[in-house]
Amino acid sequence: MKVEANRCAYGQHAYAMKKHQAKRLHYDLRLEWNGVLLSWALPEGPSCQPGVVREAVEMDDHREAYLQFEGVHHTGPIMLWDRGTWEPEPESEDIGKSLRKGVLRFTLCGEKLQGIWILTRTNITSNTRHIWKLGKYPDAFAERYAHRCVLVERPNSISTRRTLEEIARDWTRPRDKHQGQMKLFDAA
């Protein structure tokens, strides 16, 4: 059954998807809520194909100031791969309750990713972190990417159009907090 996505028309929350080359390449989903960025690491990245679920490892919340960061962390280069807004679907409107229950259905209005998605917590943990599954609902966005991969078709930074290699090559560490956001990592 195909559903149509909401348009993120009310009380928008910030969203970002980072591409991070640490020990291995992965993507980081960030959803702004209640003064922090809820965070999940996706070892394979998101899939726009309905029915394909991807592992999403729950990570510690991040500071909102980190949302737009692109540069080099001590673990490796981080790309701002996508950004936009998100909204909970009506059954997940109480975000805190939905997170506690382990099911968060939401709409993304990103520059690359759009439409309705669902995060579902599993009974599995890895190194004391909860494992969730991220899946895409069938909608017009999913139809556009039927038999295609957005990760391959749109691999570069949404803000600078650079690759991870270019970000690593061109990075110069900011000297103070006014020159960049690297200070965010110093206290973490």
- For the entire predicted model, the pTM comes to 0.86
DSSP-H helix ranges across 109-170? 140-144, 150-153, 164-170
Q: pLDDT band for position 178 (50/70/90)?
A: very low
In whole angstroms, give the CA distance from residue 25 to residue 108: 23
**Span 40-93, pLDDT tens digits:** 999 999 999 999 999 999 999 999 999 999 999 999 999 999 999 999 999 999
Q: What is the pLDDT of residue 142?
A: 95
Please say if the pLDDT value at position 179 is more than 50. Answer: no
Q: By C-alpha distance, which of 187, 184, 150 is closest to 19?
A: 150
**Span 89-118, pLDDT tens digits:** 999 999 999 999 999 999 999 999 999 999
Q: pLDDT band for position 172 (50/70/90)?
A: confident
Q: What is the pLDDT of residue 29?
A: 98
In whole angstroms, give the CA distance from residue 81 to residue 101: 29
